[in-house]
Structure 1
Amino acid sequence: MIELDNRTSLQIDTLVIDAIADSLTKKEIEFILTNSDEMREINKTHRNIDKDTDVLSFPYEEMPMSPLGSIVISSSHVEAGAKEFGHSTDDELTLLFIHGVLHLLGYDHEVDNGEMRKKEAELIEKFNLPKSLIIRTQG
């Protein structure tokens, strides 16, 4: 289940991201959609990186009944990515959400042998998202 906190004017359809989350976990996920200024501040505070970014994931400590974690996505990156790659903002948001939820589940593309990218591609296929999103995950 997604607990959405949309702090922007970007209108989003949560039907697909709800289905993706439900297919991967029964735990609640906090999902914050925010602007680039707040994203930069969150990144600086929690990762000591003073710049805006597209998606951040914060896993919660594993306890009975605890949510899986929080995913924070920058609306400006959603809009820019959709424009750059020629697909809808919902598709871009979904790709970033998939990336974030896989991090919450313990995947890490920086140290694995392509497992996270493979899982992203599987989810893109399973939920009939644009094939162009698969190419991006292989980069």
Structure 2
Amino acid sequence: MLEIENLSKEKIDSKSLEQIYETMLARFCAQANGELRLELLLVDSKASKELNRTHRGKDTPTDVLSFPLEVNLHSQAPQTLGSVVINMDLAKEVAHKLGHSTESEVKLLFIHGLLHIFGFDHEVDNGEQRAQEEALIKEFDLPKSLIIRAQEE
């Protein structure tokens, strides 16, 4: 179950985010026995900056943060995978700059953050997160991934 808390002024299409979540759950947690929940927080730049400073020691807003929790996939009990936090101000700004919709940018950020929840880490892996991200982007017909964009800069 995807629990979305929109603390921003932007409207979002929760159904498409739920579809992404269900697709990724089936791909990465198919062996789970109990319900797996995820919290998605949509915040402004001020809240993003505060969370980034508190949890990463970086005093600047960021586009997406992931806070994974440990789960036992064999448990029958409902469990929370963690939280993904998306900065809607930055999502809107980047989408405008790159010429695609805010909704597409939010989906990209959600996929990126959710891959971190599932244990991928592009900073230390050998391209696994990038490959997964690219496959999902193709599946959902989205623009270039965050990892690709960062490498092009």
Whether the TM-score (by the shorter chain) exceeds 0.5 is yes
CA drift at 1:133 = 1.9
Partner of 1:43: 52
Partner of 1:8: 8
- Of residues 13-22 and 81-90 in structure 1, the stretch that sits farther from structure 2 once superposed is 13-22
**1:116 aligned partner, one-letter code:** Q
Which of 51, 57, 60 is residue 66 of structure 2 equivalent to? 57
Partner of 1:30: 39
Cα distance in 2 for partners of 1:118, 1:14 equals 25
Cα distance in 2 for partners of 1:137, 1:60 equals 23
Cα distance in 2 for partners of 1:122, 1:35 equals 29
Cα distance in 2 for partners of 1:85, 1:57 equals 24
Larger Rg: 2
SS of equivalent to 1:28: strand
What is the TM-score with the length of structure 1 in the denominator?
A: 0.91
CA drift at 1:61 = 2.3
Cα distance in 1 for partners of 2:50, 2:39 equals 18
CA drift at 1:137 = 3.5
SS of equivalent to 1:109: coil
**1:110 aligned partner, one-letter code:** E
Cα distance in 2 for partners of 1:61, 1:7 equals 26
Structure 1 stretches of 5 or more lacking a match? none
Superposition CA RMSD, Å: 1.4
Partner of 2:106: 93
Structure 2 stretches of 5 or more lacking a match? 26-34
For this pair of structures, how many residues does the alignment match? 136
Q: What pairs up with 1:100-111 in 2 under 5 angstroms? A: 100-111=113-124
Partner of 2:126: 113
SS of equivalent to 1:49: coil
Partner of 1:126: 139
